[in-house]
Amino acid sequence: MSDPRPIGVFDSGIGGLTVVKALRELLPNEKIFYLGDTARIPYGSRSPITVERYSMEMADMLTQESAKIIVVACNTASSVALPKLKENLLVPVIGVIEPGARAAIAATRNGHVGVIGTRATIKSGAYEQELRRLSPDVRISVRPCPLLVPLIEEGWLDDELTDRVIARYLGPLVREGIDTLVLGCTHYPLLVHAISRALPKTVSLVDSARNCATAVRELLVQEQLSAPLANSAGLEIALTDAPDTFLGVARRALQLDIGDVQLREVLHAVR
């Protein structure tokens, strides 16, 4: 069986496009509908109940676009809203945390994994819980990095200030002896070169976006939802507020072919 409907992907801003880029590379014949909640970015500083509500609203909007699967391309939303999304939606839902944790356990050599993310993601303990479920003896060091998303959204990807902020955040993790670092926010792959400069060459980076895309491919096959080979693939992007720097950063950093961007009013869910 095959299914030509689009894959629905959402995030609070530009970060989820790192997942979209990986999906387009792995699944070139799939249609993708991306919804960025730019009116309410960042999610990382919001309360869990607010993130849960925002996530349900984004998922409902993607359902109205006939999405055959919902990809929560946001670590913050994945860490607090995934159970409610799975409980309430009729299509499969996948987040970024489990795929990233699996990749980290496979990558570590000394059993010491570091995780960076938004305050909400780190506070939730979701990565620690998943990493310990997969490997009970793993050592974990975590670090919230709240300044990185605003720097990325401003387009400051190759900037001395950004390098200094990254070095300040990562210094303690390096001193604690991690050999693997999970980029626990889908924005962070946009800073992969700057992050690599702040780490010893012995530290492996785990990109949650790419590992999420691989998990999506596996789920589509498992659920018999893959698009037909002759499917007319395409990318549609909708935002909940004016793009501002969004398009420039996305085109420059990700080399994505982005056409017209739609503006959508948030549909407020009542559940």
- Please tell me whether residues 172 and 217 are part of one structural domain: no
**What count of other Cβ atoms lies within 10 Å of the Cβ of residue 29?**
15
Q: Which residue has the tokens 């946001």?
A: 74
Domain end residue (candidates: 193, 208, 223): 208
Residue 130 in domain: yes
Known catalytic residue at 74 = yes
Q: Which of 69, 70, 74, 91 is catalytic?
A: 74
Is 145 a residue of the active site? no
Confidence of residue 269 (pLDDT cuts 50, 70, 90): low
Is the domain of 201 the same as that of 232? no
Q: Give pLDDT tens digits for 30-56.
A: 999 999 999 998 888 899 999 999 999
Whether residue 138 sits in one domain with residue 82:
no
Residues 88 and 222 in one domain: yes
Looking at the fold, whether 224 and 191 belong to one and the same domain comes out as no
CA 59, CA 267: separation in Å to the nearest integer?
10
Distance in angstroms (rounded) separating the CA atoms of residues 99 and 207: 10
pLDDT tens digit sequence for 202-213: 999 999 888 999
Residues 55 and 20 in one domain: yes
Domain total for the chain? 2
The pTM score is 0.90
Query: Per the domain annotation, does 203 fall within a domain?
Result: yes
Same domain, yes or no, for 215 and 86? Answer: yes
Pick the catalytic residue from 140, 185, 203, 238.
Answer: 185
Sheet bearing 261-263, strands edge to edge: 93-94, 69-72, 7-11, 31-36, 234-239, 261-263
> 176 and 129, same structural domain?
yes
168 falls within a domain? yes
For the chain, strand residue ranges (E) read 7-11, 31-36, 69-72, 93-94, 112-117, 139-144, 180-183, 204-207, 234-239, 261-263
Question: 268: closest CA among 80, 59, 35?
Answer: 59
- Same domain for 88 and 39? yes
pLDDT digit string, tens, across residues 62-120: 999 999 999 999 999 999 999 999 999 999 999 999 999 999 999 999 999 999 999 98
* Cβ pair 59, 92 in contact under 8 A: no
Q: What's the domain range around 62? A: 7-95+210-263
- Could you tell me if 131 and 99 are in contact, meaning their C-beta atoms sit under 8 angstroms apart? no
Which residues, other chains included, contact 5 with Cβ-Cβ below 8 Å and sequence gap of 6+?
A: 31, 66, 67, 68
Q: Would residue 1 count as lying in a domain?
A: no
Indicate the residue among 165, 186, 208 that finishes a domain: 208
99 touches 214 (CB < 8 A): yes
Q: Which of 188, 208, 228 is the last residue of a domain?
A: 208
